[in-house]
Amino acid sequence: MSYTHPETGKEGEAMSHETRKEVIHTFQVNFFAMSRLNAFPWDSLDGEIMTTTTSDIITEILQKTCLHPICLKNPPSLKYRRRFLTELIKRHEMLAAEPLDALYEALGEVMCAQEEDMCYKTYLLPTGDAVSLAENVALISQGTTGLVTWEAALYLTEWALENTHIFKNKTVLELGSGVGLTGIVVCLSSSLTKYIFSDCHQTVLQRLKDNITNYLTNSDSSRASVCVEELDWENVSDEQLQRIQANTIIAADVVYDPDVIACLVRLLSRLLNCKVQEEHPDVYIASTVRNPQTYDCFKKELEMAGLRHVVMKDSVAQVFPYNRATTIEMIQIYV
């Protein structure tokens, strides 16, 4: 069956069963990761409502988002759910005849509730597992950038999912772990020996510990042992470095503040020169290049410290919904 969109005048066809499933899944993945609303496949939804002239797809989307058990336990922010439901209602009212009570009931619930600083973002993995993290609503809060998951962490996590062999039987140190997505997914997907999450900010460290305990425990002998270290790049003792003994070091979005680049590079140099089982560690850093000057300054500091780097250009399959148009660069650093 074909239709003509009342506003855009575009013509459309009814979706196949597979496409419909895919559209609903895309709504779900975007909703739980709190993606921008314009990233949702609204046009496909409009088409389906028009051609079927029923509200079934809206009901299904509602079940897979606001009424899903994940949302009942670990909901995205109230403001986000309010905006999402308002848009869903708008689409439904514009194209379908009968009002859908469940939509208004869901909106009513989020209208009455009190706004909070914290929310949950849930990342759906290719295995079907879901990782829900407590994150702050604001990108920068309590004097830190560490209470949200940044795009470079999503990229590093996707890269890690494709390169599980790199972590096999390794002790991995993550610098500036933030709320913990990369480490949790690396531990769930790779057979590594030990994963050391680290950060310097007290609130971030506490949030990190809370998020980790929901997914990783040291009582599970089939998984890597995990720990959270307070590790400030400006102040790391030789004793702490000796104790860590990491074969692999990873970090996401740690190159953004020109004032801390020098100490970050000094630390990387010390880590790289600290051989573990006769070998220099491997270092991988994923960065969103917001300010090319800051990023160049990081590369120059690496050079001045005698460290070489190579840009990793292999394509990585996208697992999480985020804007891939942003420049994210991943490098490997060597002595």
Ligand X SMILES: C[S@@+](CC[C@H](N)C(=O)[O-])C[C@H]1O[C@@H](n2cnc3c(N)ncnc32)[C@H](O)[C@@H]1O
Binding-site ranges for ligand X (CB under 6 A): 144-146, 149-150, 152-153, 176-178, 199-201, 204, 231-234, 252-254, 260
Backbone φ, ψ for residue 148 (5° rounding): -135, 160
Q: How near is the Cβ of 58 to ligand X at its closest, in Å?
A: 33
Q: Identify which of residues 80 and 233 has a Cβ nearer to ligand X in the complex.
A: 233
Q: Give the list of residues 6+ apart from residue 293 with CB closer than 8 angstroms, or none.
A: none
Q: How near is the Cβ of 165 to ligand X at its closest, in Å?
A: 22
Q: Are 76 and 120 in contact (CB under 8 A)?
A: yes
Q: Identify which of residues 3 and 233 has a Cβ nearer to ligand X in the complex.
A: 233
Q: Distance between CA atoms of 238 and 274, rounded to whole angstroms? A: 10
Beta bridge partners, 286, equal: 252, 330
CB-closest chain residue to ligand X? 146
Q: Identify which of residues 47 and 146 has a Cβ nearer to ligand X in the complex.
A: 146
Q: Distance between CA atoms of 134 and 114, rounded to whole angstroms? A: 17
Q: How near is the Cβ of 85 to ligand X at its closest, in Å?
A: 28
Structural tokens at position 122:
């849930």
Q: Identify which of residues 52 and 141 has a Cβ nearer to ligand X in the complex.
A: 141
Q: How near is the Cβ of 313 to ligand X at its closest, in Å?
A: 21
Backbone φ, ψ for residue 218 (5° rounding): -80, -5
Structural tokens at position 293:
């000057």
Q: How near is the Cβ of 299 to ligand X at its closest, in Å?
A: 18
Q: 152 in helix, strand or coil?
A: helix
Q: Distance between CA atoms of 238 and 218, rounded to whole angstroms? A: 26
Token pair 């020169």: residue: 273
Q: Encode 96-132: b = buried (16+ Cβ within 10 Å), e = exposed.
A: beeebeebeebbeebeeeeeeeebbbbbbeeeeeebb
Q: How near is the Cβ of 205 to ligand X at its closest, in Å?
A: 9
Q: Identify which of residues 174 and 282 has a Cβ nearer to ligand X in the complex.
A: 174
Q: Identify which of residues 106 and 255 has a Cβ nearer to ligand X in the complex.
A: 255
Q: Identify which of residues 30 and 149 has a Cβ nearer to ligand X in the complex.
A: 149
Question: Cα 129 from chain centroid?
Answer: 14
Q: How near is the Cβ of 324 to ligand X at its closest, in Å?
A: 16
